Amino acid sequence: MQPVVIRTARLRLDLPLPGDADAVTAYCQDPIFERWLTTPWPYTREHADAFLGTYVPAGWATASELTWAIRAVEGGPLLGVVSVRETQREIGFWMGAEHRGAGRMSEAAAAVSEWVLGGGIPESATVFWRAVEGNIGSAKVARAAGFRRIEPEHATVPTRDGEGTLPAWYAVREREADPRAEASWDGILGARS
């Protein structure tokens, strides 16, 4: 599959490039990545080079995982990353620490979900989100992007080494806006004021 550019009101989502390695290396030193993500830890420049030079292009080529750089403008610095795995249409994301709290990730996650459900990945009825239990920032992004929390019996995510699991929060987004979506988060996030 050819990489796809998605535009939103404030953002341009496009292909992460080898030239983004400095930014990716710097952002991935963030201690909260150790807790909430499965990105390598400690994270080195070699990890960024392999991610940008091999992993991302291979994901697009095989359509197994589609990964976008979040930028303000074409050719601008990478601010964060959002991806969708073909299996289960699972969305994942992170934002560089200095760019958080401005609603950019919510905007990017909503746009990618709408693109998937609009036929970007054929035959997608839902987009799936999960996060390690307690990841309030990620849950707020999922709520803002229109996801509805679900509570399956065995809700887990794999640990970084892939050998264990951690309790997780799950949510889905469907093609039609779900009127129950907003209230489904009240139990963990409280009602939005």
Ligand X SMILES: CC(C)(COP(=O)(O)OP(=O)(O)OC[C@H]1O[C@@H](n2cnc3c(N)ncnc32)[C@H](O)[C@@H]1OP(=O)(O)O)[C@@H](O)C(=O)NCCC(=O)NCCS
Q: Which two tokens stand for residue 130?
A: 């999960």
Residue in 127, 138, 149, 170 binding ligand X, rule: CB under 6 A:
138
- Interaction of residue 36 with ligand X, rule CB under 6 A: yes
Residue in 43, 51, 94, 115 binding ligand X, rule: CB under 6 A:
94
Pairs from 99-105 (Cβ < 8 Å, separation ≥ 24): 100/137, 103/144, 104/10, 104/11, 104/70, 104/79, 104/80, 105/70, 105/80, 105/141
Which residue of this chain has its Cβ atom nearest to ligand X in the complex?
A: 137
E strand or H helix at 150, and its extent? strand 148-150
C-alpha–C-alpha distance, residues 39 and 99, integer Å: 19
- The partner residues of 6 in beta bridges, in order of sequence, read 13
Least CB distance to ligand X at residue 56 (A): 17
- Interaction of residue 168 with ligand X, rule CB under 6 A: no
Of 33 and 60, which CB lies nearer to ligand X in the complex structure?
33
Residue in 18, 19, 76, 101 binding ligand X, rule: CB under 6 A:
101
- 105 exposed, middle or buried (CB, 10 Å; 0-12, 13-18, 19+)? buried
C-alpha–C-alpha distance, residues 178 and 125, integer Å: 13
Least CB distance to ligand X at residue 64 (A): 19
Of 51 and 94, which CB lies nearer to ligand X in the complex structure?
94
Cα 141 to the chain's mean position, in Å?
Answer: 9
Of 59 and 96, which CB lies nearer to ligand X in the complex structure?
96
Decide if 83 contacts 67 (C-beta within 8 A). Answer: yes
E strand or H helix at 21, and its extent? helix 21-27
- Interaction of residue 63 with ligand X, rule CB under 6 A: no
Task: Please count the residues of this chain forming the interface with ligand X, following the rule CB under 6 A.
Answer: 22
Write the interaction track for ligand X spanning residues 142-161; mark x where CB under 6 A is met and - where it is not.
--x-----------------
Residue in 135, 146, 147, 171 binding ligand X, rule: CB under 6 A:
135
Residue in 50, 137, 175, 178 binding ligand X, rule: CB under 6 A:
137
Residues that bind ligand X (CB under 6 A): 32-33, 36-37, 93-95, 100-106, 131, 135-138, 140-141, 144
